[in-house]
Amino acid sequence: MSVASLRRAALDSVSGLPRAFWWLWTSTLVNRLGAFVATFMALYLTLDRGYSASYAGLVASLHGLGGVVSSLGGGVMADRLGRRPTLLIAQASTAVFVALLGFVRDPVSIAAVAFLVGMASNASRPAVQAMMADIVRPEDRVRAFSLNYWAINLGFAVSSMGAGFIAEFSYLAGFLIEAGMTMACAIVVFLKLPESRPEGRSGPGATGGTGGGDSVRLVTVLRDGRFMGVVGLSFLVALIFQQGSVGLPVAMGRAGFTPADYGMAIAVNGVLIVALQIPVTRLIEHRDARRLLIVSSMLAGYGFGLTAFAGSVGVFALTVCVWTLGEMVNAPTQTGLVVRLSPVHGRGRYQGVYSLSWSLAALVAPLMSGAVIDRFGAAWLWGACAVVGTVAGLGYGALMRRLPQEPRAEGDVTKESAVEKPVVEKSIVEKPVAAASVVEESVVSVKEGAVAEGARSLPVVAAETAALGAVEGDSRGEAGAGARVG
């Protein structure tokens, strides 16, 4: 592939997304650059504080329990209070509790503060996912979620390598750095991100009512059998991936490896995702989601299963490569599936319940890994991962047979998507008419104004429609809502 082709592919991957998305993306990147607690908590407790693997697992589970509570609460807050207030509350609280965690010494206090950190940090996840779905056009969402996931792992790769060396100098410094970076995220949200929650409306596709769609309640989500099946399978996959930050560091520590060794091995995960996530997404976005989820589950399970044979940092890194490939395939496919199944005015609650699968995995995985490593050894843990991956793959194979292949995204109109159609039509029918550029600039400026002011006047809509009709003729047609997973 030529340099020009690579440049064109890179531009295609990042172009056309709204300004608000990029501020949200920046907030995510800053947050992950300061990540420390989730990655090095197990090493901090076992190597620095001298606690057992079982106690480290208990603390990590309490961290996960906090996430279970806030996953549901954060989803409800995102629908009722709005995405922006939820992000501000969650990130500011996380900064305070992470800093406090670095100073507490009593075992009970450590466990209690870890619970608060988990509760505060996970409360922002439903709001981030819901806001991203609000501000990005349906046909661009898979790409947007992939870019966000790319930012997460770019920050993770950098922070893993840096934090490994920081931990050898001072664990407290790591806690304080994460607290500062999280507070910086809250400042970005406060200064740059507008509220994106859709206004209540009636009509096709409107599943919620005025005031954030309170008609979509948690009971509604829990009774959605198809969606809950996806949540259950997501829990199994998350249970496997959690071992990268829970079972793997403890096993490497028991085998005599240093925090820096673990940091270098796990950083391979972030580096590969940074390098390959966007190309992989472009490769898989039009392929059968059922096969992708089956393959990704198997890669995750057997990738961790191969860890049983690792005896050096290099071999550990190779096993990370295997399950990272599964992660790169699973992440955009699974996220796109969840958005497809979520009604517009219930996105916060649906995303909260989906986040619950990861929070429950964060609760169960440390208990499971700590107990298995203490009683039977790490090899049994890696074998269990292979079994769970197989079960998840078979589950996706059965569930996806009953899912519609290409659901329509009717009624999915937010402040951003109010001007989607003219922009899409402009890209479909390009004619060398001088007025075309004028119309395009007008539409883009109106689109940016819609993000800032959340409204457009009817005369502007009429003017755009008339101008586009003159330039492009009668080329009205639905832009393929199902071309990309929404």
Chain segment 193-227, per-residue pLDDT in tens? 888 887 754 333 333 333 444 567 778 888 888 88
pLDDT reported for residue 245: 82
pLDDT reported for residue 425: 34
pLDDT reported for residue 40: 76
Q: Show Cβ contacts of residue 416 under 8 Å, excluding neighbours closer than 6 positions.
A: 18, 20, 134, 135, 136, 137, 196, 447, 450, 451
pLDDT reported for residue 479: 35
> d(Cα 239, Cα 233) in Å, to the nearest integer?
10
pLDDT reported for residue 95: 92
With CA atoms as reference, report the closest residue to 63 among 82, 28, 81, 36.
36
> d(Cα 253, Cα 144) in Å, to the nearest integer?
37
Q: How far is CA 185 from CA 22, 37, 90, 122, 193, in A?
A: 13, 16, 10, 14, 11
> d(Cα 355, Cα 235) in Å, to the nearest integer?
9
> d(Cα 5, Cα 447) in Å, to the nearest integer?
29
DSSP 418: G
DSSP 198: P
Neighbours of 155 (CB within 10 A): 21
Contact between 313 and 261 under an 8 Å Cβ cutoff? The reply is: yes
The token pair at 259 is: 């925090």
Alpha helix positions (H), 342-418:
347-375, 378-399
Segments of the chain scoring below 50 in pLDDT: 201-213, 405-486
Q: Which amino acid is at 134?
A: D
Question: How much helix, strand and coil, in percent to the nearest 5, is found in the chain?
Answer: 80, 0, 20
For 237-247, b/e burial (b = at least 16 CB within 10 A) is bbbbbbbbbbb
pLDDT reported for residue 204: 34
With CA atoms as reference, report the closest residue to 129 among 367, 382, 355.
355
pLDDT reported for residue 451: 36
pLDDT reported for residue 316: 93
